[in-house]
A and B are shown apart, each in its own frame.
Chain A
């Protein structure tokens, strides 16, 4: 073993003595920083993954869209049916309508679905709190849970639907009566964007409400597990007719996902300061060590230690503290995350915040997603900062004049 590493380890773990308090404090600093970073990044990653799953569950992996409406959906569906990567594809039409239940109005986004094909892309059944998919026909509607609550509708209620087409007709002095629909189902997906203000009708009804004839607004696609949706979107776009494009779930919700990623990056940025503070602890501890060991440094220099090796000795101590802190930090974080639900239960029990947690975050359990990239970025950052922290004291040690160091009182 090279002597700088040997001596660095001996200084951290002296023969027959207790481990240095400086070492323990420095390692604890790095450990806490790394632990917090791993926990926060993994939980933020968990939120991201959960949202991704919810988006895919409620919108599919891809949507084929065009500028305006799609008149040749069958041709496109035929093309898509030949792609082995595709598990299911279903046309849809969507738009905003005015909904009224008694004196309670709302302006939800309505999605018209092909009942026969929709189940290959989105399992509406899975999300129905009351009712079943077979109950949906051209005279009925499924409401999202929040929408139903806001207009005070329930199973069996009759709601009136007004469409923008009716306004057009009014301009030419025609009057169209609102469409009366029966509420035959209420759904909750857990995806706030979908649950807050949406309703589902049959594709035929939606085409009728928007006067679309046979046209649709797009085609939702679900891919087989393991297929890279982004790569597939690029490939399929080449085969699609002009003006048609494949839009991935990430592009559909890019603003939301960007905010989510921004939050994650911001948390990393804020929490890396804990590691930075730990690095300062290391720097101070190492600097004190250099001051305390000035004579020993002088001695080593006098008996033939090169300045660069003296520097390496103290630099390695910073690096080694970083390694220990990082490993312990990751282990502590994994342990804390393993028991996260117990910890959250305990915390929610003490603060009485369980309901608030479920209401605002819509997760009964804290989601976690372990990302190798996150682990690598955190570990490398902690190691680099710890090593750099050791660099200043190491540089000071290497610059000491041996005679002056030996004279040091």
Chain B
């Protein structure tokens, strides 16, 4: 999706986000006056040094962490003014999240892990089952669907996590260093997969990464430097 879409396409916007952590008496400002718009189907990357607050920003955008001030508007409504249950429902329906450490549920097999977001959403049916199968096929795990999450390799786990993030056909995928725990070859494969699938499904992508090469493959690139977000596209 090209840079500079019309305002009608905007689905997620962050306004004047401020986040600070307090450790004892000292205050660490992580995000200051951060503004960001995400359009439907576009991909955005956020780079920055370790510990600069990239994950915090991603968590705030995904509604799993609250800022000290500012708003994240989803379809015109500030998600942080909603009740926890409503926020959870929104995350379930509109957002998909991929973590660096995969976070698969070890008691479930690959297919069950992918199917979990549909269970949480309460949509259990043949179409959802087919989608879970198709997604696992799409990420190249057709033969490992019934394998326990604990028996999968790092790359396979991340593929399952990608399929899981896409299960509920989200409008935005938040990917937090999805290749951080993988070797270069596996990392490139995973990155290709995420970008391709997001394009196929017309899903917006917010990618947090250290890797400049991966970041350059997104529509817009941002850098988080000294608590401020800069457009470096």
Contacts and interface: CB of A to CB of B under 8 A. Distances in A.
Contacts of B120: 3, 300, 303-305, 309
B117 A306 contact: no
Interface stretch (A10-18, A118-126, A208-216): A10-18
B180 interface: no
Interface in B88-120: 88-93, 95-97, 99, 101, 103, 105-109, 112, 116-117, 119-120
B62 interface: yes
B121 interface: yes
A402 B107 contact: no
Interface string A270-304: 00000000000000000000000001101111111
A14 B148 CA distance: 9
Interface in A180-229: none
A304 B121 contact: yes
16 contacts: A3-B116, A7-B105, A7-B116, A14-B108, A15-B109, A15-B112, A295-B101, A299-B99, A299-B105, A300-B116, A303-B116, A304-B90, A305-B120, A309-B120, A402-B59, A406-B59
Interface of B: 56, 59, 62, 64-65, 84-85, 88-93, 95-97, 99, 101, 103, 105-109, 112, 116-117, 119-122, 148, 164, 168
Given A3-B119, A402-B65, A403-B59, A303 B112 contact: no
B65 A403 contact: yes
A408 to B, nearest CB: 11
A332 interface: no
A296 B85 contact: no
What are the 10 A-B residue pairs with the smallest beta carbon separation, nearest first?
A: A304-B92, A403-B65, A14-B107, A3-B119, A402-B64, A299-B103, A304-B91, A306-B88, A10-B107, A403-B59
Contacts of B84: 306-307
Q: Which of B56, B89, B117 has the most CB of A within 10 A?
A: B117
A6 interface: yes
Which of under 10, 10 to 19, 20 to 34, or 35 or more describes the interface residues of A? 20 to 34
Contacts of A296: 103, 105-106
B123 to A, nearest CB: 11
Nearest to B97: A302
Contact of A295 (B88, B92, B103, B108): B103
A175 interface: no
A101 interface: no
A262 interface: no
Nearest to B96: A303
Nearest to B101: A295
A317 to B, nearest CB: 12
A88 B108 CA distance: 71
Interface string A379-409: 0000000000000000000000111001000
Contacts of A403: 56, 59, 64-65
A33 to B, nearest CB: 27
A308 interface: yes
B88 A406 contact: no
B125 to A, nearest CB: 13
B232 to A, nearest CB: 26
Nearest to B88: A306
A303 B148 contact: no
A217 B93 CA distance: 85
Contact of A303 (B56, B65, B92, B106): B92
B88 A301 contact: yes
A320 B62 CA distance: 34
Nearest to A401: B65
Nearest to A6: B119
Given A15-B148, A403-B59, A303 B105 contact: no
A300 B103 CA distance: 10
A304 B79 CA distance: 13
Contacts of A15: 107-109, 112, 148
Contacts of A14: 106-108, 148
Contacts of A308: 85
Interface in A1-40: 3, 6-7, 10-11, 14-17
